[in-house]
Amino acid sequence: MRDGRLSVPDFPVIPFLEGDGTGPEIWRAARKVLDAAVRTAYGDRRKIVWKEVLAGEKALRETGTYLPEETLTAIAEHVVAIKGPLTTPVGEGFRSLNVALRQLLDLYACVRPVRYFPGVPSPLVRPERVNTVIFRENTEDVYAGLEWAAGTPEAEALRRFLGERLGVAPDRFDAGTTAFGLKPISERRSKRLVRAAIRYALEYGRKSVTLVHKGNIMKFTEGGFRRWGYEVAEEEFGDRVFTWREYERVKAEKGEAAAEELLAEAKASGRLIVKEAIADNAFQQLILRPEEMDVLATTNLNGDYLSDAAAALAGGLGMAPGANINYETGHAVFEATHGTAPKYAGKDVVNPTSVILSGEMMLRYIGWHEAADVLLRAVEKTLAARIVTQDLGRHMDDATIVGTQAFGDALVRHMEGA
């Protein structure tokens, strides 16, 4: 980072983590596609120098730990990295390696663009309307890892503290059989997330940013996120945005007609509309009116659910890319958004598109837009030719179903002459 912008050489060193389960095979397919896109766009003038770093099961086998310090150091040094899926046990064992990477490197924005590619099976009647980008706060909320198991001295101490110091009724929690978790939501972290979402929307010509929250119930955490989001929009972006909070103020002072007139003027002048949606309603609108869910900015848990729900509308997690970014330091880890699918490991059947499109995001992030465009067109052409992996092909009547590596090869073929 120099003066707030990435400075990228023609031969950047980019660390990669293969991932667990199906990770190594989808990474092999993705790597040749990314290399082909760069080669097609720039010839010999540019090339990514890949550097493997370890995390997950491979790291445990080779170093005795799931997340070696050397991996964190390498990503911090080289700024940009890409990874496959990593194992996360449910209900026991170590906490998520994905969450650990995000928190240790302060990658506060989980960015997940979801768009529909023609030909991909979807449960929607008009899936072509799906084109949304979700900005999910990555470092706090219930994912902060502040929880205590039922029956532990810590849980009992917290139960007593809530009763004795904060006046919570003793019968509110069952002694000895209640687990506890904390949900921290802060002004600084909420504002930087919303700031990043608004800047993205303005840069890419989006029409709206929706603050998704559950502030009607959690008034000080989720409600705080909503309030701070509006504050950063109005205080830092001025007449480039128009907020629903402004609309409500004008409506209260001058009536609904005046507020509607101001909203119409804002839209006509191209100002970004910053609005809000209660989380459960946001899910409904994502299905019924996806074209109105342009850029979403939300808290950690809401963003997790919404990202997967949006992906389901556009072909599933196998089609959904993702990135974890700190826009202040420039650090970014691009990633497959699906799990490790260990039962399919080594069978050459899993869809590599998630990590491939994450690579497209990465190319665009480092300013290599020509290579990103080449890759995106190859995906469009391959899917239009109905060449797909089994996850999509089983829902299609006239598809050519190919394996993981063959799908990558098809993408490379469709780059020829691009």
Residues annotated within the binding site for NADP(+) are: 87, 338-344, 351, 394
Catalytic residue among 108, 214, 247, 294: 214
8 Å CB contact between 29 and 408: yes
Q: Which residues contact 352 (CB under 8 A, 6 or more apart)?
A: 25, 26, 27, 29, 30, 33, 389, 404, 407, 408
| 3 included as an active-site residue | no
Of the residues 304, 348, 391, 409, only one is catalytic, namely: 304
Dump strand ranges (E) for 101-207. 109-115, 131-137, 147-148, 180-181
Q: Is 280 a catalytic residue?
A: yes
Alpha helix ranges (H) inside 204-299: 222-237, 244-254, 256-268, 279-288
391 counts as catalytic: no
d(CA 249, CA 243): 10
CA distance 132 to 353: 18
DSSP-based three-state secondary structure for 291: helix
3-class SS of residue 118: coil
Q: Which residue has the tokens 């050519």?
A: 400
Report the binding-site residues for Mg(2+).
304
10, 219, 280, 347: the catalytic one is 280
Q: Which residues define the annotated binding site for D-threo-isocitrate?
A: 96, 98, 102, 112, 136
- Binding-site residue set: 87, 96, 98, 102, 112, 136, 304, 338-344, 351, 394
Tell me whether residue 47 is one of the annotated catalytic residues.
Answer: no
Residues 6+ apart with CB under 8 A from 362: 14, 80, 82, 323, 332, 334
Residue in 66, 108, 116, 143 annotated catalytic: 143
What residues are annotated to the active site? 143, 214, 280, 304
